[in-house]
Amino acid sequence: MLRFFLGRLAVLIPTFIGVSIVAFTFIRILPGDPVMLMSGERVMSPERYAELNQQLGFDRPLWVQYFDFLGGVLTGDLGNSIVTKRPVLNEFFTLFPATLELSLCAIILAVLIGVPLGIIAAVRRGSWLDQSIMGAALVGYSMPIFWWGLLLIILFSGILQWTPVSGRISLLYYFPPVTGFMLVDSLLSGQEGAFRSAVSHLVLPSIVLATIPLAVIARQTRSAMLEVLGEDYVRTARSKGLPPRRVIGLHALRNALIPVITTIGLQVGVLIAGAILTETIFSWPGIGKWMVDSVFRRDYAVVQGGLLLIAGLIMLVNLLVDVLYGLINPRIRH
């Protein structure tokens, strides 16, 4: 198992270097001068421009800037934001709990609904229920996040007025953050109504972010279950007179979990990409909105450092999924 783990870990090294090159290059190919945006001056003297350019290190060759960036990454220093002057790493981990809370709620919602729907569709294959579930999954997968989010805001926040439009909690409540997770911190604060306010702010963003992963998980669960239900050992279990729930839950579902776990692991990247749009629509103060704002401000350190950290998280999740494969099915690690 250790050899299997080290082999998977070794594959991440060239991937990480490739991601660092992409992160470094991406922000620099966009039009716009970070020095002019940072200064906010319409007219800047050449001397002042050259001074700021030198202070930020933009006057050096690109290959020198890249290796300085890579050296900082290896030592845990991603630089400071051009705008806020704060370390990028500190800003990331200050905002990351908001994105993590939203993503966890979304993936839990997607799994709790998607897996049962996929099982039902597989067991009722060809029925109107199967066709309805798969049709709804196709619609959910094809739904643009920004359009879907705006529709829900108009319906539930504008017309019905059941949920707030944006933010993580009402401005009526204030308490110092303890964990960074608003649901936990609102409970710890002891303020009446704070937890309810945090939940109401979380509902719509979670639904919007969970829509695409839910559709993918439901379709993959159905496909995996249909493949397993046709195996000999399932037919043998049925011929022995075992209850349908035991046949489906113990024999079929357990062996269909590997492709489903793969799908759930791959949805982490989808959640991060979706969080960028979702957080922007709902003004959710997480790393997605932070990255979008930094791109518009041409904040080089934040964009390249943030992209690298997000990619690192996705690679870590994929590594954990690979290890989980080996634990579930010993044939994979051999």
pLDDT values of the chain reduced to their tens digit, one per residue, 334 residues: 667 666 667 777 888 888 888 888 877 887 777 777 666 556 667 777 777 777 777 778 888 888 888 888 888 888 888 888 889 889 998 888 999 899 999 999 999 999 899 988 988 888 888 899 999 988 888 888 888 999 999 999 889 889 898 888 888 888 888 888 999 999 988 888 899 999 999 999 999 999 999 999 999 888 888 888 777 666 676 666 667 676 776 667 777 777 887 788 777 777 877 788 888 889 888 888 888 888 888 888 888 888 888 888 888 877 777 777 666 656 555 5
308 and 242 assigned to the same domain: no
Give the range of the structural domain holding residue 109, as residue numbers without chain letter: 88-296
Angstrom distance (rounded) from CA 197 to CA 172: 10
pLDDT (tens digit per residue) in 241-250: 667 676 776 6
- In one letter, which amino acid is 193? G
pTM of the model: 0.81
pLDDT at 110: 92
Are residues 152 and 43 part of one domain?
Answer: no
Q: Are residues 131 and 231 in the same domain?
A: yes
**Amino acid symbol at 275:** A
Whether 120 and 263 share a structural domain: yes
Report pLDDT for 85: 84
The answer to whether residues 107 and 167 belong to one domain is yes
Residues 70 and 215 in one domain: no
State the total domains in the chain: 2
If you search the block for the tokens 């037919």, which residue do you land on? 235
pLDDT of residue 40: 59
Asked whether residue 328 falls in the same domain as residue 205, the answer is no
Beta bridge pairs of residue 80: 87
Residue 312: its pLDDT value, please? 84
With both helix axes pointing from N to C terminus, report the angle between 287-296 and 253-281 in degrees, rounded to the nearest 10.
50
Task: Please tell me the predicted confidence (pLDDT) of residue 203.
Answer: 93
DSSP labels, 27-47:
HHTSSS-HHHHHH--SS--HH
The pLDDT tens digits of the residues spanning 173-230 come to: 888 888 889 999 999 888 888 999 999 999 999 999 999 999 999 998 888 888 887 7
- 202 CB contacts (<8 Å, ≥6 apart)? 101, 102, 105, 168, 182, 183
Same domain, 127 and 263: yes
Same domain, yes or no: 152 and 20: no
Are residue 59 and residue 141 in the same domain, yes or no? no
Same domain, 156 and 261: yes
CB 208 within 8 A of CB 152: yes
Kindly state whether residues 127 and 93 are assigned to the same domain.
Answer: yes
Burial class (CB in 10 A: 0-12, 13-18, 19+), 294: buried
CA torsion 94→96→99→105, rounded to 10°?
-110
**Contact 324/257 with Cβ under 8 angstroms?**
no
